[in-house]
Amino acid sequence: MSRTKDRKVIALAPIEIDADPEMRPLEFGLISRLFTYTRPYKNSRNALIATVILRALQLPILTWGIGRIINTTIYNGDVIQLIQDVSLFGLMALFTEITFHYRMKLALTLGELVVHDLRTEIFEHLHRMPMSFFDKTKLGKNIARATSDVEAIRTGVQDVFFISMIQFGQLAVSALFMLYYDWALFLIVVLLAPIIWGINKYFRVRISKSTRRSMETWSMITATLSESIRGIRVTQGFVRQGTNAEVFRGLVAHHANNNYGVARSTAVMFPLLEFNQMFFTAALVLVGGYRVLSTDFHLPVGNLIQFIFLSQLFFGPIRVLGEQYHQALTAMAGAERVFALLDTKPDWEDKPEAVGITSCSGHVEFKNVSLAYDGKTPVLNDINFTALPGQTIALVGHTGSGKTSIINLVSKFYLPTSGEVLIDGRNILEITSRSLHQKMGMINQTNFLFTGTVMNNIRVGKPEAKDEEVEAAARALDTFDALSALPNGFQTVVKEQGTGLSLGQRQLICFTRAMLADPKLVILDEATSSIDTITEARLQKALHLLLKERTSFVIAHRLSTIRHADLVLVLDAGRIVERGSHNSLLEIENGVYSRLYRQFSEA
Amino acid sequence: MPRQWGGADLRFGSSMAEPGASWGKELSNREVVIRLLKIAWHYWGTCLLLLILQGVLLALFLAAVELTSVGIDFIHHKIRPSIQPPRWPFYFQPDATWTSTEVLVVIALLMVALGLIRGVLNFWYKMKEADLIERQVMFDLRSGTYDKLQRLNFSFFDANASGSLINRVTADTRAMGTFISMVVIQTVILFLSLLFYFGYMMSIHVTLTLACLSTIPLLYYLSSRFSKSVRDDYAKSAELADTMVLTLSESLSGISVVKGFAREDIEKEKFQAINCHVRDQKKSIFNKVSLFTPSVNFLSHINIIILLAYGGYLMSKGEFPLGQLVVFVGLLQQFAGQVQNLSNITNTVQQNLIGARRVFEILDAPIEIANQPNPLPLKKARGSIEFKNVTFGYKHAEPVLENLSFEIKPGQCVAVLGPTGAGKSTMMSLIPRFYDPQEGSVTIDGLSAKTLDLEDLRKSIGIVFQENFLFSNTIAANIAFGHPEATQGQIERAARSAIAHDFIMNLPKGYETVLGEGGLTLSGGQRQRLAIARALLLEPAILLLDDATAAIDAQTEKEILEAMDHAMKGRTTIIVAHRLSTLRRADVVFVMEHGRIVQAGRHEDLLNSEGHYQRIAELQLVDAKNLYNSAETKS
């Protein structure tokens, strides 16, 4: 029964809120490291601190001023004095708000500057990492470092520290004032403060928990929606609309209940805090009134009024500090993750003594090369072969046989665990990655395109190329007509992930891109998809032109490509099991290649 | 209490008689507002309760304020008998025999009691409001929109990006909910409270109230101008941030291209440029925000100054009690806060309306393809298909299919061949009525497809799409997609016919393996076979295979062809294919070009007659023949 029910779920939504904790205790190391990011802007930071100190004093003074005017000047009915006092109060208010203006502007700007610098640092750091790093970490996590985590840090930098300072100042100054006016009333305040703090803390934890639950169902809703829309053809083709709608209704109801849960926490918290406030005022009226009226104390009535004002100045910060504390913990968690990323050392970097190559003939040699991505399980074992300049090397074998690994080594995306990869007789370790990549043209299976025009996508191969050069490259590959025939020719805009272009068109762009780079080494992971025969023929022709007189490594899925290769390496479980030309390999009776070939030709 | 918004019974959809009357034409602001108010009217009972509760809460608040001022004035009067005694509210007059402490205790107790009642009512109000918005309004809106969305024609999905459609069910429905909670309920409450505060203050002192509130129009003007002026800045800022994230994510997802072409520095520059742009654009926001907030604060200081000066003057003349001066300070702050809220609300209205308009677009979109009245059932189809002079185009001006006619007998296998854009997939999509032809007719078993029951029709057809979408769910659930109640036995039988059973059993959790993001990634061939199994589970009389062998290498293709041979037995099959190996197996091959069938016949016959087919066959055979030749000469 439960099985059938499970099946109705349109999508078991991927909930990606896994290991990343939302909060982290305050840690001095992290704080001081964050603080170093404000160092380049120390003038505005110091100015900010000055405004913060000013404000911590100004606010209690203003409040005290109101009370003072009411309980002395007005109380005594001195009109002249009143005008003077009120004008003074106005000036003070103006001064306070001017300070506030600078305090806000400086804080916001400082936050943005720090965030900007962090983002740049993260981006540059990520681009220093070798490929192995990207195989291990998910794209979404790396993006989260530069977005949500950095945003958490922003609040930490621009708000938490400075607002807390101001609020502490207010708290302290107003406490001193209150203590000065009446110690007994202050005692009530002191007793209530921890209760308010406790309520705040308790409910903040509850709210953050229920918010998390609500976020989880929310991510299920968006994931389900996205699948429903992408799979709409399947849904309508299989007449599932009714079932899906029922499932979605369940999800939405679940989410609504979670939101209701969030509301429940706030619905208890705020009235409770308000009740506290009311309780406090009542206590003031009672105790304060008693102390005013009783002959033992003779508390002036003005002091009581001062108290009512000042107590608000005291309780406000408790609430705000609670919020800021919560924010601080979130910022800590963000900072911890960002710094952990920035502290990740690349598994390897170019040796300092590595040199840039200026020319390259395209002679590639593998000498006893082995590779284990995790350092233990070898994916390549004792690989030996030589590619002469201009040769095409076809790599053939089942998925997981090690074709991609060989390509990864030639392009120095990975370093061999043992053995040597030599380019023009020089160990690849002694060549800078950059100079090597400048001699290389790469076409990967996904035919990755950037958003932007077709022209700019081709220019990836040679950023400084003029339009004419791009067109010349397209003519040389005989792709010019096909690319000109796009809706806006070379200026056609490629949308995210190449949508809007057919697979064949994307491949033509990638071929032209590689051609423009005019590489000595071509690395091609052939797309597996078959395209209609005419387009296919055109691609083969372009490919033939591209590979001519260049050393190339091709993960081949097409017979014609293999047939044109000078050397076919047949891989199985990380070893070269057969090698030779297409024809010579076919002669091996019951050989791996002839078996593979039979499958090809039978299909 | 979930409301059912079944397909045709879309309560909030257009009530207009002819479908499509509002489709494509933008609703005016007035129309949108009226329809939103109509939606709100559905919940009028709860809305009314909320308003009443809020009224009571306000009255209680003012009573507490009144008590504070009475308390202060009572004390004041006791120590300075020369000034007026307090004005006792609610016709309440303390007994002359009470000591002043007793009076204070009574006042304090009353305040606590008021606070308690207010707390309870406030809780009730908040829960009711959350229940209304979250559990009723949002629930109804979201499930209703989703339900309608799923029934829309493919042309709607062709015209709208998926991101935009997701937003309509998520953010845009939220905007509608906000309209109801903010505009309909909150505005009324705001006006109500402004009225209460104003009335209370006026009852204390008319000219003082007017003097103190003289800055309010300025405050309203400033607030609404401010939020209007930052709105565009914020929109621009969000847009820039999106571009920045896109730059980052593209650079990372294309990292091998970036590294392979030694483009790291260029990418860094690109990112740096947009990063700086984001930073610099914020300056104007920061300037405005840091000017606005202090100005508003200063305005409220001015209120206080007026109060102190004028109120103080009145008090010195004995016309105004001390306690009320104190509560006036608090009330003024409340009042100013509410006015700011109001200006915020008026500014969000515009955004809410934009969201609502986008949701109405879905709710109003006509479902063009639906059952005719009294549709004919099609329980057990034989599987004959006939196209009669069919003309169809996604846009009217550009027909994709032109005057297409053919007939397929039950159990026949037809292969379709042609270049991209020839109309192969389009032709197939007319059979299950994903689209209806503009001219001509499609008949199944001799009956026009339009007259058949749509559900029956689609259930008689098994479809394997070009890009086979699998849901992030278990393999079993994916196979049973069209028939969720299927038994494990049925699922396995379908999987076996699609030669998928063995690989499924080799997975760690077999049929319960979860696919998709965060789950297992299958190879292209495995996905295809699951898609075939999904189609076969329906035991369809007609099987449509759209280029099912495209994304596969030769080794898997063989397996898939085997699977398809199994699948086709006893079914009418139309298969789009490029490879000769597939074409050879078909009973008939259609060669399509520019929306027409240019050649039709058996593989052998077509091979021997001049034309497109021969050309294509030659292109493919050159490869194969060379291979054979070279292999033969060597051996």
Q: Say whether residue B107 is in contact with chain A using an 8 A CB cutoff.
A: yes
Average pLDDT over chain B reads 82
Give B88→chain A minimum CA distance, Å. Answer: 16
Give the largest CA-CA distance in chain B. Answer: 130
B258 in contact with chain A, both atoms CB, cutoff 8 A: yes
B122:A270 CB<8 A: yes
Mean pLDDT over A583-590 rounds to 86
**CA B207 to chain centroid:** 52
Contact between A93 and B301 using a beta-carbon 8 Å cutoff: yes
Residues of chain B with Cβ-Cβ distance to A239 below 8 Å are 454-455, 458-459, 482
For residue B305, which residues of chain A lie inside 8 Å, CB to CB? 86, 89-90, 93
Q: Which amino acid is at B497?
A: S
Task: Give the per-residue pLDDT at A487.
Answer: 82
Residues 509-528 of B with CB under 8 A from A: 514, 516-519, 523-524
Provide the chain B residues 44-103 that lie in CB contact (below 8 A) with chain A. 64, 68, 71-72, 74-76, 78-79, 100-101
Q: Which two tokens stand for residue B508?
A: 């760690």
- CA separation for the pair B521, B506 (Å, rounded): 14
For A162-221, the pLDDT digits (tens) are 888 888 888 888 888 888 888 888 888 888 888 888 888 888 888 888 888 888 888 888
- Does B536 touch chain A if contact means CB atoms closer than 8 Å? no
- A 533-562 near B (Cβ less than 8 A): 533-537, 557, 559-560
Rounded to whole angstroms, the Cα distance separating B556 from B525 reads 6
**DSSP for residue B133:** I
CB atoms within 10 A of CB A542: 21
Q: pLDDT for B175-219, tens place per residue?
A: 899 888 888 888 888 888 888 888 888 888 888 888 888 888 888
**Run of H or E residues at B572:** strand B572-576
Please name the residue that has the structure tokens 């898997």.
Answer: B556
Provide the pLDDT confidence category of residue B5 given band limits of 50, 70 and 90: very low
Residue A43 pLDDT: 94
Residue A505 has a pLDDT of: 84
Alpha-carbon Rg for chain B, nearest whole angstrom, is 37
Q: Is the pLDDT of residue B598 over 80?
A: yes
The per-residue pLDDT for A270 is 82
Question: Whole-angstrom distance between the N-terminal and C-terminal Cα of chain B?
Answer: 79
- Provide the token pair at A345: 């050392």
Q: Which residues of A touch B251 (CB under 8 A)?
A: 123, 127
Residue B630 pLDDT exceeds 50: no
A455-469, A563-577, B9-23: segment of lowest average pLDDT: B9-23
Name the residue with higher pLDDT: B521 or B205: B205
- Whether residue B113 lies within 8 A of chain A, CB to CB, comes out as no
Chain B residues within 8 A of A530 when measuring between CB atoms? 549-550, 552, 578-579
Residues 208-237 of chain B with CB under 8 A from chain A are none
B506 touches chain A (CB under 8 A): no
- Looking at residue B9, its pLDDT comes to 33
**Mean pLDDT, range B261-270, rounded to an integer:** 87
Q: Are A251 and A224 in contact (CB under 8 A)?
A: yes
Cβ-Cβ contacts under 8 Å, B424 against chain A = none
**Separation of alpha carbons A496 and B295, rounded Å:** 44
Name residues whose C-beta falls within 8 Å of residue B406's C-beta, 6 or more positions apart in sequence.
B386, B387, B590, B597, B600
Residues of B in contact with A234 (CB under 8 A): 463, 465, 468-469, 481, 534
Q: How far is CA B224 from CA A179, A449, A460, B342, B456, in A?
A: 42, 44, 47, 9, 57
User: Which pLDDT tens digit goes with each residue over A249-306?
Assistant: 998 999 999 999 888 888 888 888 888 888 888 888 888 888 888 777 677 777 777 8
Q: Exposed/middle/buried for B460, CB within 10 Å: 0-12, 13-18, 19+? A: buried
Q: How far is A379 from chain B (nearest CA, A)?
A: 20
Q: Please tell me if residue A491 touches chain B, with a CB cutoff of 8 Å.
A: no
DSSP letter string, A86-105? HHHHHHHHHHHHHHHHHHHH
Tens digit of pLDDT for each residue in B481-501?
888 888 999 999 999 888 889
pLDDT value at A507 more than 90: no
Q: Does A55 touch chain B (CB under 8 A)?
A: no
pLDDT tens digits, one per residue of A300-343: 777 777 887 788 788 788 878 888 888 888 889 889 999 999 99
- The answer to whether B250 contacts A101, with C-beta atoms less than 8 Å apart, is no
- Output the pLDDT for position B554: 60
For residue B325, give the chain A residue with the closest CA. A70
Q: Give tens-digit pLDDT for B49-96.
A: 999 999 999 999 888 888 888 888 888 888 777 777 777 776 667 777
Closest CA to A111 of A48, A32, A27, A26: A48
Residue type, A310: L
Indicate if the pLDDT at residue A524 is higher than 60: yes
Nearest CA-CA partner of B137 in B46, B51, B48: B46
Percent above pLDDT 70 for chain A? 94
At residue A442, the pLDDT reads 86
Is the ipTM here above 0.95? Answer: no
pTM score: 0.79
Distance of residue B126 Cα from the nearest chain A Cα, in angstroms = 6
For residue B152, give the DSSP letter: S
- Contact criterion met (CB < 8 Å) for B550 and A4: no
pLDDT (0 to 100) of residue A16: 44
Q: What angle do CA B241, B246, B251 make, to 5 degrees?
A: 130
Distance between A318 CA and the closest CA of chain B, angstroms = 19
- pLDDT tens per residue, range A75-99: 777 788 888 999 999 999 999 999 9
pLDDT digits (tens, 9 = 90+) for B376-401: 988 888 889 999 999 998 776 778 89
HSE (side-chain half, CA atoms, 13 Å) at A495: 5
Helix spans in A439-522 (H):
454-459, 467-476, 480-484, 503-516
